[in-house]
Amino acid sequence: MAPNAFKHGLSAEDAAAAIGQGLTASGLRHTSEAFPIGDGGDGTIALIADRLGAVRVKATVRDPLHRDIDTWFGLTDDATTLIEMANASGLRLLDTAELDPLIALSTGTGDLIRAALDLEARRIIVGMGGSATVDGGVGILQSLGARFLDKHGDPLTGLPAALTALDSIDTSQLDPRLANCELVVLCDVDNPLLGPSGAAAVYGPQKGATPGSVQQLDSCLEQLANVVAKTTGRDMKTVTYGGTAGGAAAGLYGLLNATLAGGIDYFLDITGFDRSLETADFVITGEGSIDDQTLQGKGPMGVAVRAKKRGIPVIGLAGKIPLTPGPELKKYFDILLPIGNEPSGLADALENTAANLSRTAEAIGRMIALSSTGLE
């Protein structure tokens, strides 16, 4: 049972539990394993921390509006630190009226990285989903010692909106401990940094950007990319996954040479998912919607690819599926089932996600049991 979170409806852990309850209620004789998954989005790091038995270390950091908040990061036995960007710089930390990516900064995530370095971290993994920022990572980088200067050599104020005036970046005061630490960024989207498919255009509006500020933010990110290219020679504009977290992924690649990784594959590797497949006869996965976009590296797709390599049937559950799934979806998902029980509005559907998952899983269990009886 390897579901992703059902966005706004159910966490991945609760989704797996609901599926398990349904299978138990079906009377099917079976063993099962709950293996909730994350693809780099908000909650992924918590799942990794739980799987790896990481200690949760408390830290006080700055939220997107620079207010002090208490949060945590994970620390494993091998000095790997696990950081959830949303814990420090997330949308969920702000009220709707506070959302404004022209002023929101990712500084708190940088605070967490510094706290990890204080504990002599040798590898830092950052899950970047769910951020409230479109700052290209300048908040993180400032927290780590980078200085963003205008043409007079003075530090810019009013970031990220002021990035259009960026002329140079002083990296001489970057935390020297970064040089001896591997930095991995888990990305849940593959958008580029700039343009109509970029960080500002696609994700800016959900973070409070107006049409006018979307254009301004895109210009800010372009200027940042231009100056970073002159500073380090790295191209933020073309790097895969660069649009993740308002361009923060591209910024950490550009100035810190961070490794940008597809969230779901990295998650499945580090948590040992393939070992669990060794004893599986069926895999049940799911999330809020399974459609053609799922094929672009979403969580259920990562699960399905690995299961199909082993010849294991995959059942996909979702609040929404296509009326006629295309051949690529059918290639990876043997069965696709919508979990809704009757016509309803979105609010009702979200409220009933757990009950609908359990009911659908119970039906699956009964069908498997009937099929097995028939075969005998």
Whether residue 96 is found in the same domain as residue 152: yes
- pLDDT tens column, 285-304: 999 999 988 887 889 999 99
Q: Are residues 127 and 237 in the same domain?
A: yes
pLDDT tens column, 196-251: 999 999 999 999 999 999 999 999 999 999 999 999 999 999 999 999 999 999 99
Residue 373 — pLDDT band, cuts 50, 70, 90?
low
Domain count, the chain: 2
Domain that holds residue 344: 2-35+273-375
User: Which pTM does this prediction carry?
Assistant: 0.92
Are 117 and 49 members of one domain? yes
User: Of the residues 211, 235, 264, which one is the last residue of a structural domain?
Assistant: 264
Same domain, 18 and 54: no
Q: What is the pLDDT of residues 79-118, one digit of tens each?
A: 899 999 999 999 999 999 999 999 999 999 999 999 999 9
Scan for tokens 């020297």, then name that residue.
176
The distance in angstroms from the start CA to the end CA of the chain is 26
Residue range 161-177, pLDDT digits in tens: 999 999 999 999 999 99
Give how far Cα 58 sits from Cα of 142, 166, 175, 325, 374, Å: 22, 35, 21, 45, 55
CATH of residue 187's domain is: 3.90.1510.10
Which amino acid does the sequence have at 234? R
Does residue 218 share a domain with residue 165? Answer: yes
Beta-strand pair 283-289/314-320? parallel
67 and 176 in a single domain? The answer is: yes
Burial of 313 (0-12, 13-18, 19+ CB in 10 A): middle
- The enclosing domain of 329 has a CATH number of 3.40.50.10350
Do residues 77 and 194 both lie within one domain? yes
